[in-house]
Amino acid sequence: MTMQIAIDGPASAGKSTIAKIVAANLNYVYVDTGAMYRAVTLAALETQLDLNDEQAITKLLPNIDITFAPGEPVQKVFLNGQEITAAIRSTKVTENVSLVSAYAAVRTVMTELQQTIASKDNVVMDGRDIGTTVLPQAQVKIFLIASVAERAERRYKENQAKGMQTSSLADLEAAIAKRDYLDSHRAVSPLKKAADAIELDTTGLTIQEVVAAVEAIIATALK
Ligand code: CDP
Ligand code: CDP
């Protein structure tokens, strides 16, 4: 069996930042499952579908091919061969991704794709349902959390650093809280800590401190 490290948690808890560093240090493949749900959302928006129309989005799924390529500072993401790395981070996609990702057919197709990737390579995979649904047999499961206020502040600073137009701190906090609620309350594989996951509260911790804590958890789990 391949090695599987699952990192779940709410928006802006630091999952992708930490998962990417840990994967590089272990020489594992990093899989950003949030990017996949964002890609489906972008595809539906580009096709001008009514995002409340679950059937129309389900029909779109066979026409969606999502691939990744190495890139700095973030992995490159492609939709049917077209690069969408920046496009999937738009406010419009962020506002709608929790609606689209709640559809059962979307989750089935994405879960299969994620399981196929993890069956071929050792992975560090981040998302919301990796430890519970996608890779229930993962050798290591970590659930990263941080206060909503700190997560909004992290996103605010990130937007500023990227030179992106950013919503106010209060709006970012409200948007994150809304997404937390939707992701945790949907019927199919909601955001939830797996019973055997180790929770790590990263509030007040630097990236380096979180990486060290996660690597210590991995070392203990694999001993
Ligand atoms: O980076 P950020 O925390 O903003 O979110 P993301 O990891 O890019 O995920 C975007 C959205 O995709 C989440 O808010 C969820 O609605 C959905 N998602 C999911 O449902 N299941 C996953 N395994 C990963 C993401
Ligand atoms: O993937 P997820 O949405 O959980 O979070 P992320 O995109 O990895 O992190 C959101 C922002 O918080 C990024 O700008 C990170 O650099 C930052 N961050 C931080 O300041 N301190 C941490 N301990 C972890 C992440």
Query: Cβ < 6 Å from ligand 1: which residues?
Result: 11-12, 16, 33-34, 37-38, 97-98, 101, 127-129, 179, 183
Mutate to test the pocket of ligand 2, among 17, 157, 164, 202 (most ligand atoms within 8 A of CB): 17
Residue 67, classed as helix, strand or coil, is strand
Give the tens place of pLDDT for each residue, 120-166: 999 999 999 999 999 999 999 999 999 999 999 999 999 899 888 77
Q: Give the model's pLDDT for residue 72.
A: 84
Which ipTM was obtained for this model?
A: 0.97
What are the residue boundaries of the structural domains of the chain, listed by start?
Answer: 1-28+122-218, 32-120
CB of 212 shorter than 6 A to ligand 2: no
* Identical fold, 1-28+122-218 and 32-120: yes
Angstrom distance (rounded) from CA 132 to CA 1: 18
Q: Is the dihedral of CA 46, 48, 49, 50 positive or negative?
A: positive
Identify the H or E element spanning 40.
Answer: helix 33-46
Ligand with smallest separation from the Cα of 11: 1
Angstrom distance (rounded) from CA 116 to CA 162: 33
| Ligand 1: nearest atom to the Cα of 102 | 20
Which residues contribute to the annotated binding site for ATP?
9-17
CATH architecture of 1-28+122-218: 3-Layer(aba) Sandwich (3.40)
Which residues, other chains included, contact 167 with Cβ-Cβ below 8 Å and sequence gap of 6+? 91, 159, 175
Q: Judge whether 44 and 57 are in contact, CB under 8 Å.
A: yes
Give CATH for domain 32-120: 3.40.50.300
ω into 73 cis (within 30 of 0): yes
Q: Which residues pair with 199 in a beta bridge?
A: 143
pTM: 0.96
Please tell me the distance between residue 33's alpha carbon and the centre of ligand 1 in angstroms.
Answer: 7
